[in-house]
């Protein structure tokens, strides 16, 4: 590329020990290019390393205390699910996830540490923007949207199974009919 004054296209050659390895490398390259495209198109990024998830979980837990009841439990469970992202990052980096989460929560108590996340290279909790670890906002929005939709589908299935079980059981206070039994 040194001789091209204004390159508009590049060729990327992927090599691997097997077709499977090459296919996986191609998929990973495609995913990475799509992430870059999203960041460039939108012009909006957030810090990576689980920083945005840690901050979101903190805010959700704070909000849950104002709601009360079953809704509070649901919001707290969602916050824990969101917080699993930095925890998994720590685990995958070979770090102690409990120590990392304690440090991450402590740092996120201060508004100055809004973009603090898991730095897999140093094994510490650091400012991800200063480390140039960023992700497109669109990716984060889609992840939360997809997770919420999956949770809602599971709840709907659970409701259908629960209501079906009630029909089979008959009216409240009456035991279900044995197989092959008749009503009087």
Domain ranges across the chain: 47-159
Give the chain's largest Cα–Cα span. 93
Contact 82, 60 (CB under 8 A): yes
The matching CATH number, chosen from 1.10.560.10, 1.10.1060.10, 2.130.10.10, 3.30.360.10, for 47-159 is 1.10.560.10
pLDDT tens by residue, the chain, 184 residues = 467 777 788 888 999 999 999 999 999 999 989 888 988 899 999 999 999 999 999 999 999 999 988 899 989 998 999 999 999 999 999 999 999 999 999 999 999 999 999 999 999 999 999 999 999 999 889 888 988 888 888 888 877 776 666 655 555 555 565 555 555 4
pLDDT at 116: 96
What is the rounded distance in angstroms from the CA atom of residue 121 to the CA atom of residue 107? 19
pLDDT at 4: 73
**Which residues partner with 136 through β-bridges?**
45
DSSP-based three-state secondary structure for 175? coil
């Amino acid at each position: 590329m040194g001789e091209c004054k204004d390159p508009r296209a590049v060729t990327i050659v992927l090599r691997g020990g097997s077709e499977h390895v090459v296919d996986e490398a191609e998929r990973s390259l495609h995913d990475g290019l799509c992430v870059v495209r999203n960041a460039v198109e939108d012009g909006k990024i957030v810090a990576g390393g689980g920083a945005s998830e840690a901050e979101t979980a903190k805010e959700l837990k704070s909000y849950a205390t104002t709601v009360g009841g079953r809704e509070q439990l649901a919001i707290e469970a969602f916050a824990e699910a969101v917080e699993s992202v930095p925890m998994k990052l720590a685990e995958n980096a070979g770090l102690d996830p409990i120590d990392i989460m304690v440090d991450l929560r402590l740092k996120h108590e201060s508004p100055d540490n809004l973009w603090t996340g898991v730095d897999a290279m140093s094994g510490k909790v650091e400012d991800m923007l200063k480390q140039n670890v960023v992700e497109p906002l669109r990716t984060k929005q889609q992840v939360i949207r997809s997770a919420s939709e999956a949770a809602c589908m599971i709840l709907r299935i659970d409701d259908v199974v629960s209501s079906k079980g009630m029909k089979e059981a008959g009216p409240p206070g009456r035991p279900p009919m044995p197989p092959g039994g008749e009503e009087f």
